[in-house]
Amino acid sequence: MHWLTFDLDGTLADWPFRRLLRPYMQPLLEQPHIRQALREEYLHRLAQGDPIRVYDWGDIHRVVQEKLGLEPVFPPIPKLLLEAALDPSWVYPEVPAALAAFQARGYRIAIATNGLAKYQQVLVDRLAIPYDRMLAPDLAQAIKPQPAFWQPVLNSQVEKVVHVGDLLSQDIWGANQAVLTAVWIWRSMPEDWRRTPVHQRTQRKDLDRFIEERLQSELAEHGLVGQSSPNQPPQPDHIVADLEELLVILK
């Protein structure tokens, strides 16, 4: 059995959960005391290392609302997930056909997201992204880059697992530690990298320095999920701009 595990946000779709909440969150985030309290609560949970609490935005909102003594200002997440209009263009354009092509080749598809399944699954279903299994912190009791995150698909029948994601600090570090084939999808890949043939990108002399810089900026933005950082820098086995390039690699 061959599995392809895909990160969701920034890999298959353009952050649908964030986009769904944005109109409600934007005015709140413009208030510095609310913005700061949300960031503090997130970083606090990150430091505690509980994989299920880190990205539980509904619970983060609840705690901040109580702490600041606010009226109920935060959006009703469960209701929005079920009822709000979703824009199909949030799914990257080549994704539906590419996933169907992988399935036709016999790959099983997993959505492997650090967002909680209780939020992401309904979005994935409503956006009609096809998949066989969902991996998420509230299902795996682990979070990328912890290798245990992939445990649900690493049973005795598995021959190969390829993980595809856009974050070096979560997807590539995680795939390296779990000893999976690590594919870094770089959707904003600059033109000179696109011109480098796919098989030569990991050989580029400027790659190591670039990865180091990018890793530091990711860690500054997202923090390190799951406590200790590996000794090695993240090492992608392949670097692709989109899933069409992945289809060629996995031929």
Closer residue to Mg ion (CB): 41 or 166: 166
Closer residue to Mg ion (CB): 9 or 56: 9
Q: Which stretch binds Mg ion (CB under 5 A): 8-16, 59-67, 130-138, 149-157?
A: 8-16
Least distance (Å) from Mg ion to the CB of residue 185?
Answer: 9
Least distance (Å) from Mg ion to the CB of residue 47?
Answer: 21
String marking each residue 166-205 x if it binds Mg ion according to CB under 5 A? x---------------------------------------
Closer residue to Mg ion (CB): 7 or 41: 7
Least distance (Å) from Mg ion to the CB of residue 7?
Answer: 4
Closer residue to Mg ion (CB): 10 or 96: 10
Least distance (Å) from Mg ion to the CB of residue 106?
Answer: 25
Least distance (Å) from Mg ion to the CB of residue 23?
Answer: 22
Name the residue number minimizing CB distance to Mg ion.
10
CB 237 within 8 A of CB 183: yes
Closer residue to Mg ion (CB): 7 or 245: 7
For every residue of the chain, DSSP letters joined together read: -EEEEE--BTTTBS-HHHHHHHHHHHHHHTSHHHHHHHHHHHHHHHHHT-TTTTT-HHHHHHHHHHHHT--S-S--HHHHHHHS---GGGB-TTHHHHHHHHHHTT-EEEEE-SS-HHHHHHHHHHTT---SEEE-HHHHS--TTSGGGGGGG-STT--EEEEEES-IIIIIHHHHHTT-EEEEE-TT--HHHHHS-GGGGGG-TTHHHHHHHHHHHHHHHH--SSSPPPSSPP--SEEESSHHHHHHHT-
* Choice from 4, 5, 9, 60 touching Mg ion (CB under 5 A): 9
Closer residue to Mg ion (CB): 62 or 237: 237
Residue numbers of the site for Mg ion (CB under 5 A)? 7, 9-10, 166
